[in-house]
Amino acid sequence: MTVTTVSGVWALAAALLLGVAALAAACLDGLLAGRSAGGAALAGARVPLGEAARLMRQRRRRTVAADALLWRVGGGGLLVAALLMVVVVPLGRWTLADLPVGVVWFNAMDVLVWAVVWLVGWGPNSAHALVGAYRFLAQALAYELPLMFALTAPAVAAGSLRVGEVAAAQRGLWFAVWMPVAFAVYCLGVVAFSVWGPFSPAAASDIAGGVLAELSGVDRLLVLAGRYALLAAGAAFAVPLFLGGGAGPLLPAPLWVLVKALLLLAALVAVRRRLPAARPDRFVEAGWLVLLPAVLLQVLIVSVVVVARS
């Protein structure tokens, strides 16, 4: 399957698609929240829309001696990182940028989230927000290395860092099936860099919302939307990397990409209500002593298989 690079105008369509996926994720979370609260689930699904409208009209709250420039950069940064991630995700046979090192590109964009979340916490000159920012960096030190090696495994198996070629290398058997550890660690990494569910102590209620503490109005909307967009972008990137790209019966390839991405996104959203919070100070040890050796072993197995097959 050859990948065709489409004109840059289509970036608007990709952004729209990412926005719709992020909104769907927010509505699903609202629905699950409504159901677990015992209320009407459908009313819960409408909550994100109402909340978005409310935040767009809300007046901005100011703090003393805030670093407004860095704060705004951080506030918009999550969405930008998510948009840059989906640039290298092929939709069937079309892609916006067929970079020869697409996998590394994705990795660089998820590292961008380190800087962005820290800036959101630093900007308002507020103790709680800064504590949240440092929590995120501690967590990032724990998840980033396992995530990097989880990204390495499919690239080694495909013998290419080009996302389209990684997807094409999964004829017959998805990478998620024969490298389950890498896939699991990748999903964990996506949840972690999206500051989501068990990996959201940076925005936890015990520090008054952490990095979200002082955010209000449209700034808050951008950060909350950015979290969902990051989840959606991570789920979309998993499709060419682990879930066989556009391969599937009956439906055309682009639709299969969307279906797989949305299913994984729904699973990642649902994780929030299933797992307890992972304290960054404890998760660091788990990341380095459990996840990293496990995923290194996975890469070793993949490498041995690749050498044996060639």
Partner 1 sequence: MIESVAFWALGVLAVAAGIAVFRVDSMARATYALAVSFVAVGAALLLVDLHYVGIITVLMMIMEMAIMAVYMIMFMGMNPALMPMSMVHDHRQAVVAAVGGFVLLAGGALLVPWPTRRGAPAADTTAALGEAIMGSKMLVMMTISPVMVATIVAGVVLAAPRGRYERFGDDLRRRPADDPQPGGVGR
Residues forming contacts to partner 1 in the complex (CB under 8 A) are 67, 69-70, 73, 99-101, 104-105, 107-108, 111-112, 114-115, 118-119, 122, 134, 137, 140, 144, 161, 279, 281-286, 289-290
Q: Do 41 and 35 contact (CB within 8 A), yes or no? A: yes
**Residue 281 beta carbon to partner 1: minimum distance, rounded to whole angstroms:** 6
Show the tokens assigned to 279: 């304290």
User: For residues 119 and 166, which CB has a smaller minimum distance to partner 1 in the complex?
Assistant: 119
Shortest CB 188 distance to partner 1, Å:
14
Nearest-CA neighbor of 288 among 107, 192, 145?
145
Helices (H) and strands (E) in the chain, counts: 12, 2
Confirm if 184 and 136 have CB atoms less than 8 A apart: no
Helical axes 217-242 vs 10-36, angle rounded to 10° = 100
Which of 17, 140 has the CB closer to partner 1? 140
3-class DSSP assignment, residue 221: helix
The CA-atom distances, in angstroms, between 15 and each of 103, 116, 145, 207, 279 are: 20, 19, 29, 33, 33
Nearer to partner 1 by Cβ, of 206 and 281: the residue is 281
Taking the complex as a whole, the smallest distance from the CB of residue 65 to partner 1 amounts, in Å, to 9
Q: How far is the CB of 250 from partner 1 (least distance, A)?
A: 36
The amino acid at residue 32 is L
Rank residues 48 and 123 by Cβ distance to partner 1 and give the closer one. 123
Nearer to partner 1, 267 or 281 (CB): 281
Using the minimum distance from each CB to partner 1, give the nearer residue, 27 or 99.
Answer: 99
CB nearer partner 1, residue 258 or residue 295 = 295
What is 96-150 written as a DSSP string?
A: S---TTHHHHHHHHHHHHHHHHHHHHHTTT-HHHHHHHHHHHHHHHHHHHHHHHH
Give CA–CA dist 42/237, Å, rounded.
29
Give the three-state DSSP class for 29. helix
The token duo for 121 is: 């916490």
Our CB check for partner 1 shows the closer of 130 and 184 to be 130
CA dihedral 26, 32, 36, 42 (to 10 degrees): 90
